[in-house]
Structure 1
Amino acid sequence: MLATAPAGAQLPTLGDAGAISSSAERKLGERIARELYRDPDYIDDPELVEYVQSLWQPLLAAARARGELTAELDERFAWQVLLGKDRTINAFALPGGWLGLHLGLVSVTSSRDEVASVLAHELSHVTQRHISRMVAKESQQTPWVLAAMILGAMAASRNPQAGGAVMAGSQALAAQQSLNFSRDMEREADRIGFGVATQAGFEPQGFVTMFEKLQQAARLNDTGNYPYLRTHPMTSERIADMQSRQQLSDHGPVQPTLEHALMAARARVISNPGVDALRATVVEADASGFAALPRVRQANVLYAATLAAWRLRDPAAVSRLMGRLDAVVAGDPTGQRLARLLAAEIALALGDNTRVLRTLDADSKRRPELLLTAQAQVQSGKAAEAAQRLQTWVATQPRDAAAWQLLSSAYAAQGQSLRAVRAEAEARVAQLDYTAALDRFKAAQDLVRRGAGGGDHIEASIIDTRARQVESALREQALER
C-alpha cells in the first residue's frame, strides 16, 4: 500500500489492545471508499468486474478455508474490489476489506495467476489486520485524520498538487510517512498470499513472474508513475523467496488463456484512451508479423484493436477486425462469449437494439449480459421485461449500483415514478452516498404524499423504512466527524 517503514519495525501481535476494532476499521474503510466511488477514475465495467470477481471469490474462499479470514472479519468487512481506469501499475488494500485495482496493472499481466497473486497479497494485508496494526501505532492521530492522509497519498500518485491539498501541512505529510507497511508486513503478506493463491488453484509461478515484471518496470519507469512499485519494493530477497516456494510446489510455467488475453486487452484500451494510443493499437493488428503470433496473443491484439477502432469511430475497421477476432476465438466458448459481448456493446452504442437482443442470451444470469440486454429492452419498448429481470437481480445483489440505476430507468419508462425514484436512491446507497440517497427517498415520500404513488402501499412502506435506515447512517457519520 503506501511506502515502507524501517525494516526493523516490530509488529504488534494480532491481539494488541491498541489495535482499532473491526467495526471502526470498517467505518474507516467506508469513508475512503465513498470518495473512491466519486473519483473520475472509478469504473464499473461489467466484463472486467466479472473477470476480477472470478479471481477474487476463490481467493476469499481459500482464505476462509485456511483460517486466515475469520468469521468476524468475513461478516463485518466489505470484501469488495473497486476498479480504477488509471493506467498506472497500482493495487492497494484499504481498511475494512476494500481493495483498489488499477486497470494499468491488469493490462501488463500475462495470466490470470499474476493478477491473482496481487489480489492475494493485498487480501492478506487485510486479513492480517496490517492496517489496524499501523493505526494502533499512530496513537496521536485519529482514524479519520489517517483516512484523509490515505486519500491524499492516493491522489498524489496521479496529481501531486491534488494530493498535497488533501494532506495540507507539513505535520500531515510527515505523519503519512508512518503509514507505510513495514517490510515484515510485506513478507507476511507475500507468504500468506502465496498460500491463499495456491490453495485457490492459481499457479505459484504467477507470483514469481509478477514480481519480476514489477521489478523490471521499476527499473525502466522510475518516474513516480508506479505507486505500487514504490510502496511494495521488489527486493531480491522477496523474489528469491517466491522462486523457492514455486520450485517446492513443482508446478510448470503459467499457461495464458484466451479469457485473460481479452480482458488484459480491454483493460489496456480503457486505461489508455488517447487518440495516438488507440491508433497504434489498431495498427498493431495489421503488422507484418501478426500471423506468426501465438493464438492467445492474436486474440489479445484483435480484441484491443476492435475496441480501439470503435472508440475512434471507425465502423469499417470495427467490422473487419471483429470478423478476424471471431475467427481466432472460434472453438473457445469463453473467448466466443467475450467477443459476443463486445459486439453487443458496440451495437447498443449504435442504437441497434435488435442486434443486441439477437446476439446475447436473454435468459443469461450473468451480469454483463443482464445489463446489456436490459438497456436494449428499455430502449426498444420492453421495459417491463427488463424490470422483471433486474428486480430479481438486485434482490440478491443489493450493492449493484448500476443495476439499480438501470432498474430506475426501466420503471420510469413504464411511468412508475415512485419505484423509479426509490431505485435511484438504492443506487446511491450502494455507493455509500447516503446524503444523495436520503434526498431521493424524501423525494419518493413527497410523491406518496401528493398521491403520485399509484396506491402502492408496500413500496411506500419500504421507502419509509429505508429512509430511516439512511438517516441513521448519516447520524453515525456526523458523530464520527
Structure 2
Amino acid sequence: MVSTFLRGAQRLVCLALACSMTLSTAQGLPSLGDGSSMTTAAERKLGERIARELYRDPDYIDDAVLEDYVQSIWQPLLAAARQRGELTSELDERYAWEILMGRDRTINAFALPGGYLGLHLGLIGVVASRDELASVLAHELSHVTQRHISRLMDQSSRVTPLAIGAMILGALAVSRSPDAAGAVIMGAQGAAVQSQLNFSRDMEREADRIGYGVATQAGFDPAGFVSMFDKLQQASKLNDNGSFPYLRSHPLTTERMADMQARQALLERRPAAAQPDLVHAMMAARARVLSNPGPDRLRSWVGEAGALGEVPAAQAVPVLYAGALSASRLRDDAAARSLVVRLRAAVQSDPKALRQVALLDAELRAVAGDGSGALAALAAIPAELVGRPEMLLAAPLQIRSGHAAEVAQRLQARVALDPRDAAAWQQLANAYEQQGQTLRAIRAEAELQVARLDYAGALDRLKAAQNYARGPRQGNAPGDHIEASIIDVRARAIEAIVKEQEKERQAER
C-alpha cells in the first residue's frame, strides 16, 4: 500500500506521467498528431493499475461536497472537449475520466494513463477562482485527449507498460523517502523510463492551446489561465521546498506565458463579476481544512473566525467556513454552530452559497449527533439544487431513523446512472443490511470494491454471497433468487478479470 498520495514523490511524478521536462533527444519525438501504437485498452488498463493503488492510499479522499464542486467544473470541460472534437467517441467510451483527490497539501495535479486525473487538495486550496481551477483541469484533460502519455510511452521501447506501472507504484511506495525515491530513478529501467516519460515543450504548448480553447468554450473566463500562470510564476521565486511541485511537473516558460497573454488580449474583456464567487471561497477553505493540518492550525482558524470583525463577504466567508469546519474537527460544537450562523448571514443573497452553508450545517450537526437537525438543514435546500452530497449526507441519518427502504430506492437509481459511485454503493449496502436483505447487501459491498478497482476484493464478496445463497437460511428476502442469479453472472465476469490480472503478474516475474 502506498504511504501517501504522491507526497514527496514529485521527482517521480514524471514516471507517473506526466511531468514536463525535456524529452530525451536520443530518440525523436513523434510529430504532434501522430498516432500511438499503444492501444486505448492497454492505456486504460495501465491507468487502472495505478489508480487501484491510489484508491487504497490513506490520503485518498472521497468528499461528496468537494467532489460535487470539482465535477461542476470537470463535466463542462468534458462537454466542451466533445463539442470541439478533441474528445473522440472512442476515447470518451474507453477512458475512465475520473478525478481522484488526495489530501496532500502540495499544489499539484497530474494526468494518469486511461483518463484518470489526480488532484491535490493543496491546489484547490490555493486557486483564487473556479476559472483558475478550470485552467489546470483543462490543461491536464488536453494531455489525455491528445494521447501525449501513450505517445511518450511508445518511446520507451525497452520497458513494457506493465513494468512502467510497477515502477510508478514502487515510486509511490517509497514516496516518504527522497533517498529511496532517487534510488528507484537511478535503476537502469528507471533511468530509461524517466528519460522518455516527460512531456516535451511542444506537448506542453499544445495542452495549453487546446486546454485554453476547451475552457473558454465551456464558459470559463480565459483570464484564469493567465492568473494561474502569474500565481505559479510568483511561486517559482520561492525556495524549492516541496510546496509547489506543479512547477516541476509543468515548468513555466516565458513562451507559454506570453502565448496565454496574447490569446487573452485577442478576446473581448469580460465585465467584472457583479459578486465574488462565494462558493469557490468556501470550497477552497474546505480543501485547506480537509488536507489534514495539525490541531494548532485548526485552533488558529477557529480563533481567526471568532475574532473576525465587519469585513466584506468575500473576506469573511472563507474565514468563517474554515473556522466552523475546524471547530467541528476539534469537537467544539458550540463554536461550530455559532460560526455557521454568522456564515449564513454573510451569504444570504447567494442561493448557491446558501446551499453550501446548509450542507456544512448538516455535516456538523451529524458529527455532533444531531441527526434530526442535520436532516432539517438538508430539507431546507431548494429541490433544484439538491445533488449527490445531499443524498450521501442524508442516507445514514435516514437509515438510522427507519427509512432504509426509501434510501435504498434512491441509491439504486443513483448507482444505475453511475455504477462507479463507491460511496453510493456503501450506503446502499447499509440500507439493505438494515432491512435484513443480506444477500443484496453483500453484492453492494462487492460492487463497491469494483468501483475502487479492487477486483480480487469484489470476487471475495461475491463468493461470500454465493455461499450465503446456498446455505440454510430462514425468512429469505423477496427476490433473493433473482439476486443470486445476478451474483453468479457478476462473479464469473469479475473472476475472468482477476485471472487476467494474475497472468499479467506472472508474466512480469
Which TM-score applies when normalising by structure 2?
0.89
- Bigger mean CA deviation after superposition, 276-285 or 96-105: 276-285
> Does residue 373 in structure 1 map to residue 397 in structure 2?
no
Equivalence for 2:413: 392
1:353, CA displacement in angstroms? 1.4
Unaligned runs of 5+ in 2: 1-17
The 3 A distance-change label for structure 1 pair 176 and 158 is farther
SS of residue paired to 1:360: helix
> Does residue 88 in structure 1 map to residue 106 in structure 2?
yes
Equivalence for 1:450: 471
2:164 & 2:297 partners in 1: Cα distance?
Answer: 37
| Contact preservation (8 Å) 1:422, 1:441 | yes
1:154, CA displacement in angstroms? 5.0
Equivalence for 2:310: 291
2:268 & 2:154 partners in 1: Cα distance?
Answer: 40
Q: Select which of 418, 436, 443 maps to 1:422.
A: 443
The one-letter amino acid paired with 1:468 is: R
Equivalence for 2:288: 268
Equivalence for 2:485: 461
What does residue range 177-216 of structure 1 map to in structure 2 within 5 Å? 177-178=194-195, 179-216=197-234
- Bigger mean CA deviation after superposition, 382-391 or 82-91: 382-391
| Contact preservation (8 Å) 1:205, 1:254 | no
1:225, CA displacement in angstroms? 3.7
Equivalence for 1:473: 497
Q: For each residue in 1:450-470, what CA deviation from the matched residue of structure 2 results, as whole angstroms up to 9, or x when unmatched?
A: 043546111011100111110
1:348 & 1:383 partners in 2: Cα distance?
Answer: 17
Equivalence for 1:434: 455
Equivalence for 2:301: 281
Q: For each residue in 1:120-160, what CA deviation from the matched residue of structure 2 results, as whole angstroms up to 9, or x when unmatched?
A: 00000000000011100000000011112333455666543
SS of residue paired to 2:431: helix
Equivalence for 2:87: 69
Unaligned runs of 5+ in 1: none
**Aligned length, in residue pairs:** 478
Equivalence for 1:52: 70
What does residue range 128-139 of structure 1 map to in structure 2 within 5 Å? 128-139=146-157
The 3 A distance-change label for structure 1 pair 287 and 248 is farther
| Contact preservation (8 Å) 1:419, 1:459 | yes
Equivalence for 2:190: 173
- Bigger mean CA deviation after superposition, 151-160 or 435-444: 151-160
The 3 A distance-change label for structure 1 pair 93 and 296 is same
SS of residue paired to 1:40: coil
What does residue range 324-335 of structure 1 map to in structure 2 within 5 Å? 324-335=342-353
2:377 & 2:21 partners in 1: Cα distance?
Answer: 50
- Bigger mean CA deviation after superposition, 230-239 or 44-53: 230-239
1:241 & 1:395 partners in 2: Cα distance?
Answer: 44
The one-letter amino acid paired with 1:463 is: I
1:135 & 1:6 partners in 2: Cα distance?
Answer: 11
1:254 & 1:2 partners in 2: Cα distance?
Answer: 34
2:24 & 2:485 partners in 1: Cα distance?
Answer: 57
The 3 A distance-change label for structure 1 pair 92 and 133 is same
Percent identity for Structure 1 against Structure 2: 62
The 3 A distance-change label for structure 1 pair 299 and 15 is closer
Equivalence for 2:7: none
Which TM-score applies when normalising by structure 1?
0.94
SS of residue paired to 2:310: helix
1:244 & 1:37 partners in 2: Cα distance?
Answer: 40
